[in-house]
Structure 1
Amino acid sequence: MTTISWADSRRNRGLSDTCTLSTSTTHGWPVRCPSGCKRSQRLRRNLSPRARLSSEEAPAGAGGGATVTDPGYETLRYDVDGRVATITLNRPEVLNAINDPMRRELVAALRRSEADDGVWVVIITGAGRGFCSGADLRERPMERTRPAPQLSPERDAYPPVLREVTKPIIAAINGATRGAGCNIAFGCDFRVASESATFAVNFVERGLMGESAAYYLDRLVGRHRATEVALLGEVFSARDGQRWGFINAVVPPEDLLPAARDLAGRLCARAPLALRLTKKALDRGHFLTPQEYIAMQNAMTAQLRGTSDLGEAMRAFREKRPPQFEGR
């Protein structure tokens, strides 16, 4: 049997054997690999022109420093790198199927990120081959003879907590996403998916209604497509989701987290308080008349006028330099 080295394998795929893309980042932005490898070139081609910022334009604190991991979770990992918190669903042996402990910890982790002024952006991803394969039905049988599970504050808060958090949330979707996994992915603000990711809002196959995935789908893709996806419950690809307009980017599997971190870095270059109020405005706008929306807009603008970040933005504009926001 012929043994192929890691370097030979990379060369056979047209990649440099000295790729340093994983370490060639400044504040979370992938920069051109010093070895000029094709992987770094491909990643940058997948990004929009605005994403191809030079390292000089990267804001301080966006990421790329030492990562702090909290060991106090059983079903997920919580890591903070600069201004970016990454929540990793961590039950890879069942494709991150969600059970009650994971629901509780996900709600707690998201509320923790909201309360932490040092966190400006959140990424949610999955360990192993799946993002989230849905509810773990082995732990929560649904037979009619069994009593319905008693609701708890944590169960009731999932997944509305995704909209309770005012900071941008990016779903880095690495693989199979089914049922309750769609509740999570569709509730985020951005969705970056691996080419290998697949989706199904398959509640109807289990005798259940479409849950929060149906609520979000109607807002993401419109009633016509949402009806097809939620009532048929069939599997569709990341490319399908991108074509329908609710997947922001589809990238090769090895580029997924770099692409999500790049997006997080771009968001960290914006004024964080303005981002949070804009997210609120997007959520509330569906339920307001135009006059009510203008009243909300004026109140939010008045709130932002008193911030240091607005002054910094004006100075940076006059001085023709990137602003350095502080979130105050």
Structure 2
Amino acid sequence: MDISVVIPLYNEVESLPELTQWIRQVMQKNAYSYEIILIDDGSNDGSWEKIEELQQEHEQIKAIKFRRNYGKSAALNVGFNAVNGDVVITMDADLQDSPDEIPVLYRRIKEEKLDLISGWKKKRYDPLSKTIPTKLFNAATRSMSGIYNLHDFNCGLKAYRKEVVKNIEVYGEMHRYIPVIAKWAGFNKIEEQVVEHRARKYGTTKFGFSRFINGFLDLLSIFFVGKFGKRPMHFFGTMGVLSFFFGSIMALWIIGEKLYHIAMHTPYQREVTEQPMFYIALVAVVVGAQLFLTGFVAELVSRSSVNRNQYQIEKEI
């Protein structure tokens, strides 16, 4: 099979007939073999009933329904597990992504042998309350991930080699950072494609302020797990040793200063415990010891994990 189109949806009953028909026309025009996998993320507006109707007239449609709303990441992860196509295309169900982009994405994955292509909605129709925070998040993600050639990590329209989606796990709000997850998994051939952003035709946006906070926390999680997941002592141990070292130096400096004054029989104005630096040093020593112990415990947990020696293997002969 050439292409699998994965579409997570939540309360998009109005757009589904137009979207699936549009995809069908594009696929038939280019003679692609394909499947459309619709993941209903707990819709309550009749979306599932509409999907059942569409499936009767469109045999390429497959569908999965969640009992409740789990979020886009969960929907994508389940969809990735179900795909069969050589190239996997993801898009939103609200008609803001154009199926006409599919042929160029497919050709680039095949001809340029890319792992992932992320869409870039260069011209957007979203309000400033959404576009400005998105730009800030994209800048932070570029800086932390080292993927400097992407402008829009969160674009729903993406294309993948099948091997990529079968070797990554998406959860929480991490669908925003799939290129980062793919890179940490060893898939480094990541490029960008300028795509059309269409104004929403039906329904309302599912975007909320809480996604900013969740997205930022997930970015930190990806950064930490990707870099230190198999060696947590390198992170916690380093921080702990540095904190303990500087705390000890400050404490020794204060004590040494008092001993110097005693030896020289010169007046010493304040007691050791009356100096703020003493308490800063004490806190640094205690925090350093705790960080080191945290790293030690995390290392034990990591070594006990069933996944401790699972690594991405590209080829084997």
Q: Which bracket does the TM-score occupy, shorter chain normalised?
A: under 0.3
Structure with the largest fraction of helix: 2
**Structure with higher RCO (Cα < 8 A, 6+ apart):** 2
* Structure with larger Rg: 2
TM-score (normalizing by structure 2): 0.24
